[in-house]
Amino acid sequence: MQKLVYFAYGWTMVAKEKKLFYDRIEAWQYGPVIPSLYDQLKKFGRKRITHRILEFNHEKNKFFSWSLIKDSEVEKIVKKVWDYYKQFSPAEMVNLTHALDTPWYKTVRDNGFYAVISDELILKHFSEKEKRINM
């Protein structure tokens, strides 16, 4: 789930020139992680997610239901991300995010684990990737 959300974030930045959400993305051992999303999903482990995911509103210091996909164009991007990336196993997605010169790789190399992956790195990476993949 983390990687799918990360991919949707990157592709949305390229297509819409705006963020899908405002939480930070960090470079954890197994790839990019949105800590607020991780906190909500960790109780499921590898099991199926059985209820609505909540988003943490840092300004109000509370959780609220995710309502990010109100834009029909963003909804199409998220669907395309799912349609493309669902073919990859979790291990293959780790390989995609850990490849040389990815935002995760550069962040870990330069700042270590748990550092924030910059939007600039994400935008540059997905913009370059757009030239190779018809997303």
- For the chain, how big is the Rg over CA atoms in Å? 14
pLDDT of residue 61: 58
Cα dihedral sign for 62, 112, 46, 84?
Answer: positive
> What tens digit of pLDDT does each residue of 15-52 get?
988 888 888 899 999 999 998 888 878 888 888 888 77
pLDDT of residue 81: 93
Tell me the pLDDT band of 121, cut-offs 50, 70 and 90: very high
- Is 120 or 47 the better-scoring residue by pLDDT? 120
How many CB atoms are closer than 10 A to CB 9? Answer: 24
pLDDT of residue 59: 62
> What tens digit of pLDDT does each residue of 53-104 get?
666 556 655 554 444 556 788 888 889 999 999 999 999 999 999 999 999 9
The helix (H) or strand (E) run that includes residue 64 is: strand 62-65
Cα dihedral sign for 125, 81, 48, 96?
Answer: negative
**Residues 73 and 80: beta-carbon distance below 8 Å:** no
Place of tokens 């405002």: 22
- Is 128 or 131 the better-scoring residue by pLDDT? 128
d(CA 69, CA 20) in angstroms, rounded, equals 8
